[in-house]
Structure 1
Amino acid sequence: MNTWVTGLLVFFRTTSQILSAGIAITAFSLLLYGLTFNLRDRVARTFALIMISVAVIFTGEALASTSTDLVEAEFWLKFSYVGITLLPAIYLNFSDAILATTGRPSRWRRKLAIRMSYIASLVFLLALPLGLLVGESSSEISSAPHLSPTIFTGFLFLYYFVTMVMAWINFVRSYMRTTTPTSRRRMAYLITGALAPAIGSFPFLLYNSQIALEHSLAFWTISALSNLIMGGLIVLMAYSVAFFGVPWPDRVVKSRLLKWIIRGPVTAIITLGLVTVVRRAGNVFGNPYSGMVPFIMVIAILLCEYMVTLFSPVWERLLFYGNDQKDLELLNNLEQRLVTRNDLSQFLEMILAAVRDRLQAGGAFIAAINGDGMELVKTTGNIDWLDEENSSVELVELVRQTNNSMETFLWNKTLILPLYHQETDDSSELLGLLGVTGIKSEHLELEQKQSLEQLAFRATIALRDRHIQQQLFRSLEQLTPDIDYLSELRAAGRYEPEHVLDITRPVDEEMTTWVKDALTHYWGGPRLTESPLLSLKIVQDMLETHDGNYPNALRALLKTAIEKVRPGGERRFTGEWMLYNILEMKFLEGKKVREIATKLAMSEADLYRKQRVALEAVAREIAQMEKEARESHTN
């Protein structure tokens, strides 16, 4: 064999082995990603199981291909068959979860098929250690060992094929049920990426190893390319799955996934490749352990992490921001440059230190004007007079009478300089006061006056920014519930728009807690008689009809709210009556949890989840009743 052919063979074989290990690393990394961010979603959970199977398959193949001992190689090959036997059942379950997400929940036929597939996988898995599923290892290709087939292997192949066809039918049905262009495009990505585990995990050498023996260069070239393509398809599949079960905006999902992949599998694969090349080069030159191996490993990791940190802001702007680039850049800049309370305190502390130094004063303070009073923002030195009762109120009134004058004046032996923000040429706003105590002379020199005014101007800027940021934070606090609500709606309707109707507007967590406590002591107890709900306007309005008895009025309110949750018609034990039945039996009738769960044919864990939804529904009704009561009172 020519030297260049041998070199190409070694290159593609090494590349294939590195990529095979890289697929296992990628699958394990994506498994961790799913466990970290969206494990609550069924699609994400089953995808995580697929990644476990893929990681097991390619870990076994990678270690078997580098093993020099035949027994060791056989062990790792059989280890990879653990993932191969479990993959079809998990794959079918995954496709069913995708179809259920589009609005076609699992019926008895699909559930039965999934259960039967798991039983079949378990049977094949039990046959593996008994030597029935596959035979002994074949050493026809020393660098690519494989196991010989048995009669059970044919059944495994048939089971694998039939299950994958059933899964692909579910995929096609899911694609046909998507409606929006975005969801259809991502479903197409998902179906395309799903080719990787289905085709790439099957052991083709099991049935045709002669081609690989006779055409080694072509075999390893195709193997390297197929591993590269499979790695890309797995990432494409993970990209589509990343949007299931999370309410984050698309740009956040994309950015997190991309950073995760580059910091994790990409860095690991590059490091593994370089270390492998250096180590094998050391073997060629007679140095089995090269001192360059740990050095190359550290350098590769550090450089990859450095490149991610350096270029991540660039690719985020180019790939993810789109038409919202200006708004998002503004928010990013705000986050990086935001003056926190600690930053403001440090800045004002420097201002006051400079004031005391310039005026040789014993103390100084900066106060912000809030309504009719003032709030001390920062103090230094001795300012005992501020502890006196009504001192701050008198000082604020005196300052307001100065008619927006920037002149300093003495008050209780304290030099006061009002801090005004000039909004327009004709108007200004009083933001705060700069006070200096214990000065040696009441008459300031020209240089001291100029320094004081300059320092006061900078303190005014800090107080103005503090005021603006407080308004911004209050606005964000008010927006947060609605933003979360819209995010949940977007997540629910990504693949089935009708799911948007299933998401109800969130209620105040505190209100839900109050309702739960009051219902727990519905027939008497401190949680009812001392409930914060007693201060509601609707309870005050109901006192007259209940002879001024607060507990009875609150009890009647809770009963009315529960009745509003009640569906129309005769009471039944069906799904639409679930919430009302839980409220009625748990709180009004006082039945035990186990008795209610048995009556409603559900687990206790599911009962607690439904109870939470029922309490939120009651809290929502009470909030609406309170709103109507206040509006009617105002009118």
Structure 2
Amino acid sequence: MVWIEALQFLNTLLTSGIVIFSFALAVYLLLYNFRNRVARIFSLLLACVLIVYFVELAIAGATMEASLHWLRFQWVGIALTPAAYFHFTHALLETTNDHSRRRVWVLRVAYVLGALIFAGVLFTDRIVWDGVQQVGTTHLRAGPQFWAFFAYFVLLILWGGANVLRAWERCLTTTSRRRMTYLAGASLAPAVGVFPYLVFTGWPPRLPGVLLWMLLVLGNIVVGFMLLLMAYTVAFFGALTPDRVVKHRFIRYLLRGPLQATVVVAVIVAAYQTDGFLGLSSFRLALFGVVLAILLVQLTVEWSKPLIDRLLYRRDEAEISWLQSLSNRLLTTTDLRQFLENVLTALCDLLRMPGAFVAVVEGGTARVEVVCGITGIQSGAPFPPEGWEPERVLLQHRNRFYVWNGYWLLPLHARPEYEPDEGGEESERSLPLVGILGIQARAPEPDLTPEEEALLLSLAAQIEVALEDRFIQQTLFSLLERVIPRIDEIQRRREMLQEGARALARLADPLETPEFPRWVRDALAHYWGGPKLTQSPLLNLQVVERAAEEHGGPVNALRAVLLQAMERLRPEGGRSMTATEWLLYNILELKFIRGYRVRDVAMRLAMSESDFYRKQRVAIQELARALAEMEREERRMRGNNG
């Protein structure tokens, strides 16, 4: 009996783990792979397994009367598992461009039969009936029509297994064949896990009960491992991120989610099995144990993170380590302001100055970034040109400082990219101006002692480094803004490769190409004439072809269509040069239709040139989206007329 109780306890933990992991894996796939058909269908298969194992967990230790209704409800998972499994294998085959109308019809019939079998179990005793308890287990008995379910189950599982083998044979690349091998080896997990063996055979009285529980424990271990392997493989289907990201996200999710939940369940079950241990009630044991388990799991995961990273990124360990360190060292705008505030506070305290500020010079304008102890200057306000213009800085530059409007000002320069020549030192005046450090004057002229000046210059050097690094990072971010959409497009195309030929056919559609916004930008750049307009791929759009009949040629038609798309971005009401809702339309109309220079457009819209370029990129993307919608409308109209 002791062995049976121990095995029952272990089986409860394993069943709980399968329930938790099935639910967690289904949620993961729906969250990250919802757009992929294979992942959605596998989530349905996991739901069937979840129902079967949840009922097993719910009736553990329950009376016969309480278990009967649960056992009949359990058949919604048992009856639909063969259909869901066949559906899953059908979707796998379609990823290899193997399409079959016969399989589609079989799939529909399979779901109908599954629903009929569940209805038969729920409302009749033809398939299963009565209930029996054997060696601590509760199950139904096979009815006179159980053979029909058995035939339905075996036929679909075998057919589904054949589909998986056929999909494996059709895989041409090493990676796809390796993943399909995992699926082929683990694909029988749902069938092995949900089939009602005891309903079919019962448990022979002459066999020891401990053998039954050993088989149940062993079966649950195998099923749990196989389900996990299947889910890991399916997680790569439709993923729009690199494989290394999928691996890391999947492992981290398992460790911090379902694994931790399983450990918590194990602690709770163990606490109620050891009521009175150390003189504590089961409730208090469970309470203390759960808190300890959560903390230990989190600490273990955090402690093992370097080991997990080495296992996942064996080939790219150096690059991944560099990327991780880079993310920790990047300066955000808030980081920069906090750093500057700390430096200014230290400066004012050490030099006994009433206040200080830092102005950032960027794009031909200066802006007050941080203020400390000064009420006359507002953070974020423009810094007057007469206080920082390069000519004034050079003329009034004496002993590093110059005086302006009651402040001692110190120009902040970028660091030299090379060492000064031996014949003379590199003049700061020849280096780019990145900012101005302003100190509220304590005297008409700077009267710093050598020690104070050395301290001030040391802190100013830190500010220069921070400002220059932030400028470099912003340049990097602007480049990444252009690269990331292309990376997303690469991942999207990789997903299409997995979906098969019908998805690949969409790649030929000009609306689906990442170059479409660039075509729009080029056509706008030569709006009034030039090869980027007269040879634009946009001339092949159906909406342009239709407009050519009205405007006397494709080039004029493209101009007209671009103008129509631009009008879709025009807000209602009177035009404004400063209203936010008019910004995108104004940029396109002033820059490309009227042909104003960038500086003139930026001045009319009251923005810096750097802001103008960022907003122009957004405006072109919105115009491309409007043009694509016009093309889709034209296609729908032609399809309806055809």
Normalised by the shorter chain, which TM-score bucket?
0.7 to 0.9
Q: Which amino acid aligns with 2:315?
A: N
1:570 corresponds in structure 2 to: none
Give 1:536 shift: 7.5
Q: In the alignment, what sits opposite 2:546?
A: none
Match runs of 1:354-393 below 5 Å: 354-380=346-372, 381=374, 390-392=385-387
Between the aligned partners of 1:434 and 1:192, the Cα distance in structure 2 is 68
Pick from 72, 89, 95 the counterpart of residue 95 of structure 1: 89
In the alignment, what sits opposite 2:311?
A: 319
CA apart distance, 1:341: 1.1
| Deviation per residue, 1:240-291 (Å, 9 max, x gap) | 1111112111121112221222223222222222322332233999999554
Q: TM-score, normalised by structure 2?
A: 0.76
Task: Specify the SS of the correspondent of 2:97.
Answer: coil
Question: How many angstroms apart in 2 are the aligned matches of 1:390 and 1:525?
Answer: 39
CA distance in 1, matches of 2:152, 2:477: 59
* 1:60 counterpart residue number: 55
What's the CA shift for 1:25? 1.7
Which of the numbers 132, 137, 149 marks the counterpart of 1:138? 132
Determine whether 1:158 maps to 2:151: yes
* Whole-angstrom distance in 1 between the partners of 2:12 and 2:205: 15
The worse-fitting range, judged by mean Cα deviation, of 269-278 and 16-25 is 269-278
Measured in 2, the distance between the counterparts of 1:334 and 1:523 equals 41
8 Å Cα contact 1:423-1:429 kept in structure 2: no
2:39 aligned with 1:44: yes
Aligned equivalents of 1:407, 1:458: Cα separation in 2: 16
- The one-letter amino acid of 1:505's match is T
CA distance in 2 between counterparts of 1:485 and 1:340 reads: 27
User: For the Cα contact (< 8 Å) 2:396–2:402, is it kept in 1?
Assistant: no
Offset, 1:320:
1.6
1:591-606 maps to which residues of 2 (within 5 A)? none
State the 1:328 CA deviation.
1.5
1:429-448 CA-to-partner distances (Å, cap 9, x unmatched) read 43322222332252222222
Instruction: Select 2:165's aligned residue among 155, 172, 177.
Output: 172
CA distance, structure 2, for counterparts of residue 525 and residue 411 of structure 1 = 49
**C-alpha separation in 1, matches of 2:249 and 2:519:** 32
> 1:455 maps to which residue?
459
SS at structure 2 position matched to 1:145:
strand
Q: Please say if 1:254 is aligned against 2:247.
A: yes
SS at match of 1:323: coil
Gap change, CA 1:147 and 1:308, over 3 Å in 2: same
CA contact (8 A) 2:52 2:194 kept: yes
**Partner residue of 2:486 out of 479, 482, 486:** 482
Question: Deviation at 1:511?
Answer: 6.6
Is 1:422 aligned to 2:416, yes or no? Answer: yes
Aligned to 1:593: none
**1:583 partnered with 2:578:** no
Give the superposition deviation at 1:490: 2.8
| 1:381-429 Cα distance to aligned partner (Å, 9 max, x none) | 1566997864146x322335689x9722334443222223132212544
Alignment of 1:221-370 (within 5 A): 221-282=214-275, 289=282, 291-315=284-308, 317-370=309-362
Residues 387 and 214 (structure 1), Cα distance of their counterparts in 2 relative to 1, 3 Å cut: closer
C-alpha distance 288-221 of structure 1, shift in aligned 2 (>3 A): farther
| Counterpart-to-counterpart distance in 1, 2:366 and 2:208 | 87
SS in 1 for 2:314: helix
Question: Equivalent residue for 2:393?
Answer: 399
1:128 aligns with 2:118: no
Paired with 1:453 and 1:523, the residues of 2 have a C-alpha distance of 55
Equivalent AA in structure 2 for residue 132 of structure 1: R
Partner Cα distance (1:523, 1:218) in 2 = 74
2:115 corresponds to 1:115: no
Selected match of 1:27 from 1, 19, 22? 22
Question: What are the residue-to-residue correspondences of 1:199-214 with 2, within 5 Å?
Answer: 199-211=192-204, 214=207
Q: 3-state DSSP class of the match of 1:39?
A: coil
Structure 1 residues 213 and 122: CA distance shift in structure 2, 3 A: farther
Preserved CA contact (<8 Å) 2:274 2:282: no
Percent identical: 29
Which letter does structure 2 place at the counterpart of 1:476? L
Q: 1:275 to 1:213 in 2, by over 3 A?
A: farther
Counterpart of 1:486, as a letter, is I
Given the alignment of the two structures, is residue 220 of structure 1 paired with residue 213 of structure 2, yes or no? Answer: yes
CA 1:266 to 1:526, structure 2 compared with 1: closer, same or farther past 3 Å?
closer
- Please point out which of 173, 178, 184 is paired with 2:177: 184
8 Å CA contact 2:434–2:468 kept in 1: the answer is: yes
Query: What 5-or-longer segments of structure 1 have no aligned partner?
Result: 1-5, 541-560, 566-577, 590-595, 601-635
Query: Equivalent residues in 2 for 1:456-605 (5 A)?
Result: 456-494=460-498, 502-503=506-507, 504-506=512-514, 507-508=516-517, 582-584=633-635, 586=637
Q: Say whether the 8 Å CA contact 2:565–2:630 is kept in structure 1.
A: no
* CA apart distance, 1:534: 5.2
**Mapped partners of 2:280, 2:455: distance in 1:** 72
- For 1:255 and 1:228, locate their aligned partners in 2 and report how far apart those are by CA, in whole Å: 24
CA distance in 1, matches of 2:27, 2:432: 54
Does 150-159 or 273-282 show the bigger shift? 273-282
Note the C-alpha offset of 1:88: 1.0
Amino acid at match of 1:134: V
The amino acid across from 1:66 in the alignment is: G
| Alignment CA distance shift 1:266-1:333 (3 Å) | same
Contact 2:367 2:382 in 1 (8 A): no
Structure 2: runs of 5 or more not aligned: 421-425, 525-537, 544-559, 576-584, 596-623
Instruction: Quote the residue 2:3 is aligned against.
Output: 8
CA gap of 1:481–1:246, structure 2 versus 1, over 3 A, is same
Contact 2:271 2:282 in 1 (8 A): no
Establish whether residue 71 from structure 1 lines up as the match of residue 74 from structure 2. no
Distance 1:527 1:285, change over 3 A: closer
Q: Distance in 1 between matches of 2:454 and 2:192?
A: 79
User: Per the alignment, do residues 527 and 284 of structure 1 end up closer, same or farther by CA in structure 2, a change over 3 Å counting?
Assistant: closer
Letter in 2 for 1:250: D
Stretch moving more, 291-300 or 468-477: 291-300
> Residue type matched to 1:279 in 2?
Y
| In structure 2, C-alpha distance between the alignment counterparts of 1:72 and 1:453, rounded to whole Å | 81
Paired residues of 1:364 and 1:383 also in contact (CA < 8 A): no
Q: Which moved more, 1:48-57 or 1:442-451?
A: 442-451
Alpha-carbon contact 2:94-2:500 (below 8 Å) kept:
no
Q: Give the 3 Å change call, closer, same or farther, for CA 368–539 of structure 1 in structure 2.
A: closer
Distance 2:400 2:565 in 1: 67
RMSD: 3.7
Q: Is the Cα–Cα contact under 8 Å of residues 263 and 305 in structure 1 kept in the other structure?
A: yes
Contact 2:11 2:217 (8 Å CA) reproduced: yes
* Structure 2 equivalent of residue 569 of structure 1: none
Q: Which whole-Å deviations, capped at 9, do the CAs of 1:123-149 have from their partners, x for residues lacking one?
A: 11111122222011123x141122110
Within the candidate set 431, 434, 454, 1:431 is matched to 434
